[in-house]
Every structure is written in C-alpha cells, then in structure tokens.
Amino acid sequence: MLKGHELATFRKQLLSWFRQFQRDLPWRRTSDPYRIWLSEIMLQQTRVAAAIPYYEEFLKRFPDVHSLAAAPQEEVLRLWSGLGYYSRARNLQRAAQQIVAKHGGQFPQRVEDALALPGIGNYTAAAILSIAFTQKYAVLDGNVARVLARLGALRGDVRESKRWQELQDTAEVLLEPKSPGDWNQAMMELGATLCTPKSPQCLLCPIMQFCEGRKQGIAESLPEKRKKRATVEVILAAAVFSDKKGQTLLLPPPKNSAEKASADHVPTLVSKMWHFPTVSVNGDPAGNLLAFLRKLFSKMQISKVQLAPTGKVRHAVTYRAITVLPFVIDVKNLPRISGAKQVPLNDISDLPISNLTRKVARAALEAAVLTPAKR
Ligand code: SF4
C-alpha cells in the first residue's frame, strides 16, 4: 500500500494526466447532480459512445428532476428504448419522484439518503456525491477494480465479497481528498482508456512505476477470470401480423406472474415492454406459435392464418443465447385483443420496445422486401 511521499506522487501524476488528457464528455461539462446521476445510470451497462446521443435526447425532454418525475413512464421508456436494461429507467424515474416528494427536488447530499433511492448503490452514490458535491467517497466499479487489481498484482476473483471489500478499502486510501470527483473520474478514465481489459498500454500509463502487475509481467492476465455461468439456449417464436396498411400488432408489457408462468422466458426477454406475440418453443415452432395465438385471440380470428417463416434473429442477454423465429402473418384485419396496439410495422419505435423486438421487426421488414406479400 502506498504511503507518504509515494502516495502524494501517485496522486499527483494520475490527476495531472486526467486533467490534461481526459475525454471531453457532455456530463463532464456540468456539476448538476441530476445530469451526473443520469450519466452514471446510463453508463452502468452501456459504452460511452452509445450513451451520448441517449443522454442528450433524454435531457432535451427531461431537463430536470421535476420533468422526469412528472412524465408518463411510457415516455421515459421510449427515450430509453435501445439502451437495454430497462429497470434502470424505471428506477431512475421512481428515484426522481422520491427526490421531488422527500427532498424538495434536490439530489440528497447525505450518503444514506442517496443509497435509499431506487437504482442507487455504493458505486453510483460515491460517483454522484464526489463529482457533484466534492464529498470524499471512492468509487469502485469493474474498471476501477481492474486498475487496482493490476496495481497491487492481486490474484483471484475480484468480485468475491472479501476481495471486493479489500479493493474498496484500497480505493478509499488512494482517494485524493481535495478533489475526490476528479480523482474518481481519473481512476475510471485510466481503466477505460489505458488500463483496458486486453492489452493495457502500460508505456503510456501515468502511474506505471507504481504498478506491481506490470513489474511482475502479469498485468494483462489480471483480474483473473470469474467462472462463467453456463449459457442457456432459448428459442422463441414471434408473430408479426401485417395488414393491408402495413400495420402490425404489439402486446402491452407483461405484468402479472400468471403471464410470466405461461410465457416462460418471454417477459424477461421483452424487458417488460411492448412486444410481438411471442412464445417459448418446445418442438415445432409454427405449431407452438399457432397454439399460443389460438389461446390469445378468439379461434375465429386465427382460423385461416398462414405463418410465413422469415429466418432467425439472434440475441444475447446475460447468460441466455436467444434465437427468435419470427413468422409474418398477412391478414386483412388485425386480430383484436384488449390492451394491444396497432402500429406501423416500419415504425414501431413510437412505443417503448426492447432491442429484441426491434430486431424481430427488422427481420420481418427485410423478408417483406425480398418476398412481397400477395394481398
Ligand atoms: S501500468 Fe499498465 S497495468 Fe498498471 S495501471 Fe498502468 S496501464 Fe494498468
């Protein structure tokens, strides 16, 4: 563990490097806790380049915590649509509502209050409080853990709770107390730009002389890999109805546990958003889908439909490898079911939908171009 003069040099070198070479990112041009909070939530599962346009659009529509708290949830999800991990957006809005109701619209500055908000854990609380309010909390996320594991040549699974706590303690000791916000961002920036998972650029690293992993020649192999959960293969069949006007039918977000039980993986995979009628496949995909549709709609509506297969859509969500088999169903009139919505197939993004649903729509549209429907 670094101490005294060495620790001071370490801090100075990393901070000066950050101040000179940091990327110009929109959330670095503000000290507004709302904006910093939004960026931290978006960046939890999303790369910087992908998050920027979402961040900007989101702020145009919801420039402050009040506008977010008062918005219909559907609109929040629509602006999040494509970023994935939609519970982040739901929690963000619930937290905004609590901030308005309990904290007069101001992001709370006490760490206990910040941690009590939905979607805010240790990392996010430390990031917001240090960057927006200069409070002395050190962040620890995957990027920072990798840097620290390499600096200390720490072996083993860093996500194991005892090791994670050791890393948190180390991060607190290293934290520059006068500029905790810049310091945290400097650690994250180093992990994101130089101390990357593969091929760390040690020769450009501002703190290379302190790095035990580099000295021992093992930096690239750290942190050691975690045992991966086995991949589960999931096959789904989706019904893409299409009427004469090019309208299709989407079902509302799955809600109750009974629906969850009947449709198996489907509610999780559509991320509780608008989706095509979809069923898990066990055997004959077209047969399974037809049986599902007959249960969903009245038999009359589904009696003479033809299911046209359109290839495969592949998608991965955490440990699931998903294959969706979309079937286009040309109909004169779309079947009716309470709660469903009719939308143009080539523009379903007016409703909040997951990436998986977007891919299914795209596959159906591509198939329609290749084999125009006979109507
Ligand atoms: S010297 Fe290399 S491994 Fe060590 S912190 Fe810097 S970039 Fe990472």
pLDDT digits (tens, 9 = 90+) for 166-224: 999 999 999 999 999 999 999 999 999 999 999 999 999 999 999 999 999 999 999 99
Could you identify the atom of ligand 1 that is nearest to the CA of residue 206? 6
- Please check the confidence at residue 370 and state whether its pLDDT lies above 60: no
Write the residue with the smallest CA distance to atom 8 of ligand 1. 195
pLDDT of residue 186: 98
- Is 40 an annotated catalytic residue? yes
Predicted confidence (pLDDT) per residue in 215-261, tens digit:
999 999 999 987 777 888 889 999 999 999 999 999 998 775 444 43
Spell out the residues 6+ positions from residue 281 whose beta carbon is closer than 8 angstroms to its own: 235, 236, 237, 288, 289, 325
Q: Is the pLDDT of residue 102 over 90?
A: yes
Task: Establish whether residue 211 lines the binding site of ligand 1, counting it when its CB lies within 6 angstroms of any ligand atom.
Answer: yes
- 3-state secondary structure (DSSP) of residue 320: strand
- What residues form DSSP beta bridges with 280? 236
> For residue 263, what pLDDT band results from cuts at 50, 70 and 90?
very low
Average pLDDT over the chain reads: 91
369 pLDDT band, cuts 50/70/90, is: low
> What pLDDT score was predicted for residue 373?
47
Residue 256 Cα, ligand 1 centroid: separation in angstroms? Answer: 49
> How far are the Cα atoms of 30, 281, 324, 331 from residue 234, in angstroms, in the given order?
43, 8, 8, 28
- Give percent of the chain with pLDDT exceeding 70: 93
Segment 271-279 shows an average pLDDT of: 87
* Residue with CA at minimum distance from ligand 1 atom 2: 202
| Model confidence pLDDT, tens digit, residues 308-335 | 998 899 988 778 889 999 999 999 889 9
